[in-house]
Amino acid sequence: MKGISKLFLMVMLAVATGLYAGIVIARAEEPAQAQEPEETPYDDVEYGAYEAATKEPDLEKRGTLLLQFIEKYPKSALMPHIVAGYDGLLQECSTTKNYNLLEAHAEKWLKLHPNDVRTLAFIAEATNNLQKYERCVECMEEIYKMQPSPTLAKDIYGGYQKTKNLAKQIEWAERLFKMPEFDSDFALRYEFVTRYIGSNNIPKAAEYAQLTLKATDHVKNPDAKTQEQLRAVRRACYHVIGTNLMEKDKYADAIAAYQMALKAERYGEGYYYIAQCQENLEQVDNAIVTYAKAETVGGESPELAPKAKARLEQLYKALHNNTTIGIDKAYRKAKEELALEKEGR
Ranking 29-38, 195-204, 278-287, 307-316 by mean pLDDT, the lowest is: 29-38
Exposed e or buried b per residue across 117-150, where buried means at least 16 C-beta atoms within 10 angstroms of its C-beta = bbbbbbbbbbbbbeebbebbbbbbbbbbeeeebe
- pLDDT at residue 18 tops 90: no
AA identity, residue 155? D
- Answer for the pair 152, 144: CB distance below 8 angstroms, yes or no: yes
Number of alpha helices (DSSP H) and beta strands (DSSP E) in the chain: 17, 0
Please report the pLDDT score of residue 39 as a whole number. 60
Confidence band (pLDDT; 50, 70, 90) for 35?
low
Q: How confident is the model at residue 183 (pLDDT cuts 50, 70, 90)?
A: very high
pLDDT of residue 252: 98
The pLDDT mean for the chain works out to 90
Residue 245, CA distances (Å) to 61, 204, 241, 258 in order: 66, 12, 6, 10
84 or 18: whose pLDDT is higher?
A: 84
**Which 3 state secondary structure label does DSSP give 37?**
coil
CATH 1.25.40.10 for domain 1-24+43-164, yes or no, is yes
Residue 1 has pLDDT above 60, yes or no: no
Q: What is the pLDDT of residues 246-284, one digit of tens each?
A: 999 999 999 999 999 999 999 999 999 999 999 999 999
Rounded Cα distance, 288 and 61, in Å? 81
**Cβ atoms 116, 139 nearer than 8 A:** no
Give the contacts of 301 (CB within 8 A, at least 6 positions apart): 269
- Could you state, in order of their start, the residue ranges of all structural domains in the chain? 1-24+43-164, 285-345
User: Given this model, what pLDDT does residue 342 score?
Assistant: 84
User: Which contacts qualify for 16-23: CB closer than 8 Å, 24 or more apart?
Assistant: 16/87, 16/118, 20/84, 20/87, 20/88, 23/80, 23/81, 23/84
